[in-house]
Chain A
Amino acid sequence: MTTEVLKAPLVVEFPFTRSLGPVQSAFLTGLREQVVLGVRTTDGRTLVPPVEYAPVTADEIRDLVQVAPTGTVTTWAWNHAPRRDQPLETPFAWVLVRLDGADTALLHALDAPGPDAVHTGMRVRVRWAAERTGAITDIACFEPYDSASDSEVAAHDGQFESMVTGIVAQARLDYSYSPGRAQTAYISALADRRIVGERCPSCRKVYVPPRGACPTCGVATAEQVQVGPGGTVTTFCIVNIKARNLDIEVPYVYAHIALDGADLALHGRIGGIPYDQVRMGLRVEPVWTEGGRYPDHYRPTGEPDADYETFKELL
């Protein structure tokens, strides 16, 4: 049976709240105050951006120094098609910049008219963002700036009014989700109010929902088998806490349901019966709502309860 492959947009968004160590806190707070800090290693190098442990010796390093907001490009790459969330919306150069007074380079964007205007060794300076919060993006970008290199550095205690102690890093990735062959067939059948599992050619078990492989035998399942619609509650729990964005009154019952003909129980909500009367062995059937692509919940069929012996292997 061939089915059109299903696809749907999938957005994964995750704001990570991250705490900062003492050096990162000083550096990012410094950017808010238009001050660029570096850290001295025990072998006398100045790292910008600063880290808390020396990359070579792993020593804990805490001696902060203030470096200049001007520097030299050590390498670059012209980005003619900026991508979402990158520092500039117009074409720009990615650059590594060694700030005056630093021994290492910082990655950022350089605002320049075109690739012909950029070269390794060119002089640049920080362009500060208008609104600064204590983040690497407080540097809006670099811009060309002719000046002599000034490698004077001054010790800095890293202390500012109201130190930034954490950042919230937003991330969003846009995917196109495709569930694959077996699940496409399952979901497509559900739209016709049929529940279709797949049988393992080796152990003959019927999996619902099918995932394309028998986890016991490690072989592809292919033979499609319609199961249910009736089934048996094998075990259940009573949900007492309302889930966010879920319009279901608590308490309610969430159950494992072994559909007739299936060798694996699936999950579903039980409705149409008071929560405290649901029991193992209860016979249920799916309830489809208008336009629903899957059963909204399962309700009792009114049949006598299934004997424990008939479903104990499915627990």
Chain B
Amino acid sequence: MTREIAVVAFAQTDHRRTSDELSEVEMLMPVLHEVLDRTGLKTSDIGFTCSGSSDYLAGRAFSFTLALDGVGAWPPISESHVEMDGAWALYEAWTKLLTGDADTALVYAYGKSSPGPVRDVLTRQLDPYYVAPLWPDSVALAALQAQALIDEGHTDEPALAAVAARSRADARANPHAQLRGSVPHGDYVVHPLRTGDCPPIGDGAAAVILAAGERARELCERPAWIRGIDHRIEAHSLGVRELTDSPSTRLAAEKAGAFERPVDTAELHAPFTSQEVVLRKALRLGDDVRVNPSGGALAANPIMAAGLVRIGEAAARIHRGESDRALAHATSGPCLQQNLVAVLEGEARHVQ
């Protein structure tokens, strides 16, 4: 019998352009306390802790071990870390709960992009032989994908601008978002992407608590049950991939059961407007699906946490009764190289 596992709580910082006055642990700690408070759990009650972050972002070696100070990791706790977006930390925690080794898990992620040149920092994740020596920055690579979409007639610049405008308009209702309301679409950063097509650069953190079975029902009035979760990756060489499609997203969605029944909400991790076009197509989202009611990564993109935020936002809508079945997506690498899809459901209200 497979265990049922749910997201029972979510918290995030306000995402901001800079957070000079806070170290990473100082930025993260209030979020950890908030997410624990929502369930009434203490650190010592948590069965497994898993985090996602990258030392390269802020240029602070071993920052993830310092961040653990905010958890209260003494006496030693059962803990793990991934050098990936927190969505993948959540995946690891989900498998840990599936094994029955733990009934609850704390998942957190944080990223401070403000101290470094993030467009250049991200080049260090590329193929070190053929690509990284050219320093193609993150906006340049997304722009190559956007141009391919335009060339093939999947979108055009006004349609991309509309994605940006809708995202930031929706973010008006999200007090944590960095860019809200009417934001000028701006000049080209790398043609055909303009400032408005790119995510804001900023700092932030997020945390989620997972719980299994009855424990989830004790901790949350309406748990967001993870009906399926899967992640897939494509070849690293951009020239081998079909940039206008995302077969890895589609496969992850299929394995997660996303196509079995329609979802009412989708939180997509599309840092660039053009990537939403790719994801909508890969996930076959109809116009009736509410996409990124939070504003998505175009409104706040704390790197390493933005994918976990998508899962948290989708879960929070289920907690509040605003969604019954939601899809959450996270991405990593250039041009949607690696993709994770989770399907979350709330139980029918009459069952409660």
Residues of A that sit less than 8 Å from B by CB: 5, 7, 10, 12, 16, 18, 20, 24, 28, 47-49, 51, 55-56, 74-80, 83-87, 94-96, 98, 104-109, 115, 120, 135-137, 167, 169, 171, 173-184, 211-220
Contacts and interface: CB of A to CB of B under 8 A. Distances in A.
A245 B117 CA distance: 28
A78 B137 CA distance: 12
Contacts of B73: 215, 218
B158 interface: no
B115 A77 contact: no
Contacts of A84: 120, 135
Contacts of A85: 120, 135
Given A211-B25, A213-B69, A94 B135 contact: no
B133 A178 contact: no
Interface residues of B, number: 60
Contacts, number: 185
Nearest to A119: B151
Nearest to A2: B21
B70 A96 contact: no
B23 A181 contact: yes
B235 A55 contact: yes
B148 interface: yes
A97 to B, nearest CB: 8
Contacts of A180: 21-26
B115 A169 contact: no
Given A106-B130, A175-B116, 20 more contacts: A10-B59, A18-B129, A78-B188, A87-B134, A94-B144, A107-B238, A136-B134, A167-B129, A173-B59, A173-B124, A178-B20, A178-B21, A180-B21, A180-B22, A184-B21, A212-B23, A213-B25, A213-B26, A216-B72, A218-B32
A137 B130 CA distance: 9
Nearest to A169: B128
Contacts of B183: none
B239 interface: yes
A138 B130 CA distance: 11
Nearest to A115: B191
B134 A75 contact: no
Given A18-B129, A76-B147, A96 B20 contact: no
29 contacts: A48-B239, A49-B237, A55-B237, A56-B235, A75-B144, A76-B147, A78-B188, A78-B191, A80-B191, A84-B135, A86-B135, A94-B140, A96-B144, A104-B237, A104-B239, A108-B134, A136-B129, A169-B132, A171-B132, A177-B115, A180-B24, A181-B26, A211-B25, A211-B66, A211-B69, A212-B26, A214-B72, A218-B70, A220-B29
B147 A120 contact: yes
Contacts of B116: 173-176
Nearest to A76: B147
B70 to A, nearest CB: 5
A215 B239 contact: no
Given A78-B188, A135-B133, A213-B29, A181 B21 contact: yes
B70 A137 contact: no
Contacts of A136: 129-131, 133-134
B137 A107 contact: no
Given A87-B134, A107-B134, A75 B23 contact: no
B69 A214 contact: yes
For A24, A83, A87, the residue with the greatest tally of chain B CB atoms inside 10 Å of its CB is A83
B174 interface: no
A81 B215 CA distance: 54
Interface of B: 20-26, 29, 32-33, 43, 56, 58-60, 66, 68-74, 115-117, 119-121, 124, 128-137, 140-141, 143-148, 151, 188, 190-193, 235, 237-240, 243
B25 A175 contact: no
The 7 closest A-B pairs by CB, nearest first: A218-B72, A180-B23, A105-B239, A77-B143, A78-B191, A55-B235, A175-B59
A28 B133 CA distance: 13
Given A94-B144, A218-B32, A83 B135 contact: yes
Contacts of A94: 136, 140-141, 143-144, 190
A191 to B, nearest CB: 18
A118 B349 CA distance: 57
Contacts of B146: 77
A184 B23 CA distance: 10
A108 B238 CA distance: 11
Given A12-B59, A218-B29, A51 B237 contact: yes
B131 A107 contact: yes
A171 B131 CA distance: 13
B151 A120 contact: yes
